[in-house]
Amino acid sequence: MKNKVIKCIIFFSLILLFSCAHVEYLEHIGIEYSDNRTGLKYIYDNELYPSAKSDIIPFSIRFISLTKNKVDTEPVNISNLIIENTSTVASHSGYSYSIINKGQLVPEYQRSYTISFPSPQYYNSVEGITTFRGNNYRNTSSYGLSDIKEKKLEIVWDKSIGAIDTWTGVGWTGQPVIVKWPEETKKIMNIVSDKKEKTDLIEVIYGTLDGKIYFLDLDDGQNTRPPINTGFSMKGSVAVDPRGFPLLFAGQGINSNKGVYSDFKFRIFSLTDQSLLHYISGNDPFAYRIWGAFDSSPLIDANTDTMIQCGENGIIYTAKLNTTYDQSKGTISISPQYSNFRYKSPYYTTIGVENSPAAYKNLIYFTDNSGLLQCLDINTLKPVWIYNVKDDSDSTIIIEEISEDEVYLYTACEVDIQRKGGLAYMRKFNALTGKLIWENSIQCLYDPDVNGGALASPVSGEFKISNIIYFNIARTSDNPWGGILYAFDKDTGETIWEKTLGYYCWSSPLAIYDYQGNGYLIVCDSGGYMRLIDGLTGETLDSIFLGANMEGSPAAFNDMIVIGTRGQQIFGVRIK
């Protein structure tokens, strides 16, 4: 009897031991680590790599290399590119551009140093989402992985905010940044004492239509410091310095407040004491357009201390910031020197850029209100190639790098210039040559006040959905107050699935991944619903009602999602 009991104990112990293998970690398959994220496989081992600790799984930390030493990348040699005939500058009669260096028009320009952005995991030296869509490829607004079991959404906290005139809550593009500051940086910031003492504080920073920039604890939504009151509405998304320097960048979208008018400003604040360090006026004497809003979210090249920002006045600003940061003294200062680019479009008189610039090495990409897609060499401020996308295009471009010879971009336009009967075009281009790879389109409603088409930026799938590119199209002709979420094959453009939505979306979808590599979409709509959708099948897994239109775009840190609404609330939502 005693032997039987011992055998039973051993048997059940073995069952318990082998049943623990559940959660995945990522391991390289016989290759050295590089900025190429291919060659990863999944290994089950729950004991060594518990799912709740993503920092134990180095390759599962998406899009970041925690190092101050940035990887140098060789710029693209423009002379080696064979530009597609339809995308050459010469093929677009009436297009022109000029360069403004240190306040003077100049015929030619060559930067005295070389900008060449790295791959996206080297963009940040601080954990989190630091700019609209995360990095220079603009290909993520989520950081880390989520331990998803129930496939449910849960409201954890909400924060009431205000309005200016009819501009309520959070508007388009309205994505927060979410940052886990290094402890030594947190010490010199004006964070309230109980939050400063909190281990592993993750801070949410949100620019809103009530003219304030809010600072919140991701865990509970409580204030980490007082809001900054700019006095004028911000429609776009704020950014912080990806080096972890205490700098905050915020663009103004509206220039009136209860009958008081101001020039548009793009502001740069110190996050040690929230003081205003510098601003750009959108009322630029070199601008071809008098509307000077800043809805774009900037990029910062860490290697060269250079900021790149687009204005709705039609000027692309590049600034050597000349940052002086003394962490031991808790001081930071900047002294920007500008070299800028302006242009005229042959396709429509209203120029200007509302989307955020994307960057591959020394090539910068943006679309504009006239329907012009431009690829610019940031070191010479000369256009490399241009393309007429046929309509106003405010959605931000996504870059996909397969290899140095295979670099692509995805973009989509709205229906504005085309007017009634116009089409929203969804396209893939060769990012180096301007060649159109494929194109899909859908007829959308023309409404000058509430545009149909693509206001949402596309989503590029990773891991188990790495073959899929997603476009969320608003106000289609057959569904004027709804829309369609498309999942296309990246290679062919063929539809994998499409999902009709009862409410249209200006909000950009958010992709979240679990430890098994499964991909999920968070889709926020004008009816006030946040949906959790299976990225592989399009099935709606859960939805919650947040009370009002969500024009802004969500961001996530691991399993916590933050989104603001036009109903004057910011929500913290957990995916379970």
Whether residues 203 and 244 fall in one domain:
yes
Predicted local distance difference test score (pLDDT) of residue 109: 98
Whether 370 maps to a domain, the answer reads yes
CA-nearest of 206, 229, 231, 228 to 216 is 206
Mean pLDDT of 438-461: 97
Whether 515 maps to a domain, the answer reads yes
Q: Long-range contact list for 275-280, CB < 8 A, 24+ apart?
A: 277/247, 277/332, 277/333, 277/334, 278/334, 278/336, 280/309, 280/311, 280/317
Name the residue with higher pLDDT: 45 or 206: 206
Which residue range forms the structural domain that includes residue 47? 2-60
Whether residues 277 and 150 fall in one domain:
yes
Mean pLDDT of 502-531: 97
* 205 bridge partner residues: 177, 215
Whether 431 maps to a domain, the answer reads yes
Predicted local distance difference test score (pLDDT) of residue 72: 77
pLDDT (tens digit per residue) in 366-387: 999 999 999 999 999 999 999 9
What angle (nearest 5°) sits at the alpha carbon of residue 264, between those of residues 258 and 267?
Answer: 110
Domain boundary among 11, 27, 60: 60
* 485 bridge partner residues: 472, 499
**CB contact at 8 A, 505 and 471:** no
Read out DSSP for 71-107? PP-PPP-GGG----GGGSGGGSTT-EEEEEETTEEES
Whether 73 maps to a domain, the answer reads no
Whether residues 32 and 123 fall in one domain:
no
Residue 4 has phi, psi (to 5 degrees) of -65, -40
Whether residues 29 and 106 fall in one domain:
no
pLDDT (tens digit per residue) in 260-276: 999 999 999 999 999 99
Structure tokens at 74: 């060789």
Q: What band does 59 get if pLDDT is binned at 50, 70 and 90?
A: very low
**CB contact at 8 A, 555 and 176:** yes
Q: Which residues are CB-neighbours of 182 under 8 A, at least 6 positions away?
A: 126, 244
Whether the predicted pLDDT of 13 surpasses 60: no
Can you tell me the distance from the alpha carbon of 213 to that of 216, in angstroms, rounded to the nearest whole number?
Answer: 10
User: Given its phi and psi angles, is residue 14 left (phi above 0), alpha (psi -120 to 50 degrees) or beta?
Assistant: alpha
**Average model confidence (pLDDT) for the chain?**
90
CA-nearest of 338, 439, 352, 350 to 389 is 439
What angle (nearest 5°) sits at the alpha carbon of residue 138, between those of residues 152 and 129?
Answer: 60
Among 66-75, 177-186, 457-466, 494-503, the minimum mean pLDDT is found in 66-75
Q: Identify the three-state secondary structure at position 186.
A: helix
Q: Identify the three-state secondary structure at position 5.
A: helix
Q: Which residues are CB-neighbours of 382 under 8 A, at least 6 positions away?
A: 97, 109, 376
Whether the predicted pLDDT of 55 surpasses 80: no
Max intra-chain CA distance, the chain: 97
Which helix (H) or strand (E) element contains residue 265?
A: strand 265-270
Whether 534 maps to a domain, the answer reads yes
Whether 71 maps to a domain, the answer reads no
Structure tokens at 123: 């963009």
What is the rounded radius of gyration, in angstroms, for the C-alpha atoms of the chain? 24
Whether residues 10 and 117 fall in one domain:
no
**CB contact at 8 A, 569 and 516:** no
Can you tell me the distance from the alpha carbon of 553 to that of 88, in angstroms, rounded to the nearest whole number?
Answer: 34
Whether the predicted pLDDT of 5 surpasses 80: no
pLDDT (tens digit per residue) in 146-201: 999 999 999 999 999 999 999 999 999 999 999 999 999 999 999 999 999 999 99
Whether residues 201 and 331 fall in one domain:
yes
Q: Which residues are CB-neighbours of 125 under 8 A, at least 6 positions away?
A: 66, 67, 68, 70, 242, 243, 244, 302
pTM: predicted TM-score of the whole model, two decimal places? 0.90
* 502 bridge partner residues: none
**CB contact at 8 A, 451 and 415:** yes
Residue 196 half-sphere exposure toward CB, CA atoms < 13 A: 12
Predicted local distance difference test score (pLDDT) of residue 2: 42
Whether residues 158 and 246 fall in one domain:
yes
Q: Which residues are CB-neighbours of 5 under 8 A, at least 6 positions away?
A: none
**CATH label of the domain that carries residue 459:** 2.130.10.10
Parallel, antiparallel or unpaired: strands 414-415 and 382-388: unpaired
Whether residues 425 and 386 fall in one domain:
yes
Whether 202 maps to a domain, the answer reads yes
Q: What band does 62 get if pLDDT is binned at 50, 70 and 90?
A: low
Number of domains in the chain: 2
Whether the predicted pLDDT of 43 surpasses 90: no
Mean pLDDT of 291-310: 98
Whether residues 43 and 132 fall in one domain:
no
Whether 120 maps to a domain, the answer reads yes
Whether the predicted pLDDT of 289 surpasses 90: yes
Q: Long-range contact list for 462-468, CB < 8 A, 24+ apart?
A: 462/62, 462/511, 462/513, 462/519, 463/513, 463/517, 463/518, 463/519, 464/516, 464/517, 464/518, 464/519, 464/536, 465/511, 465/518, 465/519, 465/535, 465/536, 467/491, 468/496, 468/535, 468/536
Q: Which residues are CB-neighbours of 142 under 8 A, at least 6 positions away?
A: 62, 129, 134, 510, 511, 512, 513, 555, 556, 557
Whether residues 47 and 116 fall in one domain:
no
**CB contact at 8 A, 325 and 245:** yes
Whether residues 150 and 41 fall in one domain:
no
Q: What band does 54 get if pLDDT is binned at 50, 70 and 90?
A: very low
Predicted local distance difference test score (pLDDT) of residue 65: 64
pLDDT (tens digit per residue) in 198-238: 999 999 999 999 999 999 999 999 999 999 999 999 999 99
Whether residues 140 and 194 fall in one domain:
yes
